């Protein structure tokens, strides 16, 4: 485990993450992850108002309005490059969170990236609205706490005094820690593909035929139609 200051934790984690073709962003709420650059960004968001807002504000993303288990059942092994779970597993009971981690490792060719509080951090109980002023309070409740020991053989980057405020901007009595757990799947992008990827990212258009990720886009959009989001 490596310890970082509050200011250095995010940059240190971002520096460990690879540019890839396909990013699977599970449980983003209304804020998709920005740490990993990818040509194809797929969001799995179970709360429909969040998913609808994501679709409107990020029309170039594939947004699946379903639970993680619904989406992952339909995706074959090694079907995406990087799976990102930022502030997600603490919203699940511990056994369900463990199943989610197991499934994401099956899916990822490159990396699995988890970010979560260091230990249990209460949130969301008896709140009338979520932190974005919407009615997704039940999705924002913390139901489990995690520690680096829950991620054997993963790379751990941690800060013991990271959260100074809660999700609503209220000052905490004591700062709360946070950490990244990164699972390396041993697959990197070869130089030729990396050049293609960088060129694709620079174009910032939707000409998917120019990228190998088009082969992934079509089945993912089909999944979206099956789940009512196509």
In CATH terms, the superfamily for domain 2-226 is Vaccinia Virus protein VP39 (3.40.50.150)
Mean pLDDT computed over every residue of the chain = 85
The tokens describing 98, both together, are 């463990």
- Summarize pLDDT for 167-193 with one digit per residue, the tens: 888 999 999 999 999 999 976 555 455
What pLDDT shows up at residue 125?
82
The per-residue pLDDT for range 121-179, each reduced to its tens digit, is 998 788 899 888 899 888 989 999 999 999 999 999 999 999 999 888 899 999 999 99
Secondary structure E strands in the chain: 2-3, 20-26, 38-44, 62-64, 80-86, 108-117, 155-165, 171-184
What is the per-residue pLDDT across 76-115, written as a single tens digit (0 to 9) for each? 999 899 999 999 999 999 999 999 999 999 999 999 999 9
Average pLDDT, stretch 5-30? 94
The pLDDT, as a whole number, for residue 4 is 98
CA 57-194-218 angle, 5° bins: 50
Q: How many other C-beta atoms lie within 10 A of the C-beta of residue 189?
A: 18
């Amino acid at each position: 485990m490596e310890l970082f200051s509050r200011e250095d934790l995010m940059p240190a984690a971002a520096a460990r993450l690879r540019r890839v073709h396909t990013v699977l962003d599970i449980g983003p709420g209304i804020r998709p992850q920005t740490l990993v650059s990818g040509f194809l960004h797929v969001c799995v968001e179970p709360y429909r108002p969040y998913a609808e807002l994501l679709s409107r504000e990020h029309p170039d993303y594939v947004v699946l309005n379903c639970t993680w288990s619904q989406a992952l059942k339909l995706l074959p092994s090694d079907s995406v490059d990087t799976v990102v779970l930022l502030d997600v597993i603490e919203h699940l009971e511990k056994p369900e969170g463990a199943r989610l981690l197991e499934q994401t490792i099956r899916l990822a060719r490159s990396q699995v990236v988890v970010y979560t509080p260091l230990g249990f951090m209460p949130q969301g109980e008896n709140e009338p609205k979520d932190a974005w002023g919407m009615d997704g309070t039940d999705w924002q409740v913390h139901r489990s706490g995690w520690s680096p020991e829950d991620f054997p053989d993963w790379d751990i980057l941690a800060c013991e005094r990271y959260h100074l405020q809660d999700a609503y901007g209220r000052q905490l009595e004591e700062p709360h820690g946070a950490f990244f757990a990164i699972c390396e799947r041993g697959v990197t992008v070869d130089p030729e593909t990396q050049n293609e990827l960088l060129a694709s990212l620079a174009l910032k258009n939707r000409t998917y035929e120019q990228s190998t990720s088009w082969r992934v886009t079509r089945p993912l959009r089909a999944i979206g139609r099956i789940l009512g989001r196509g």
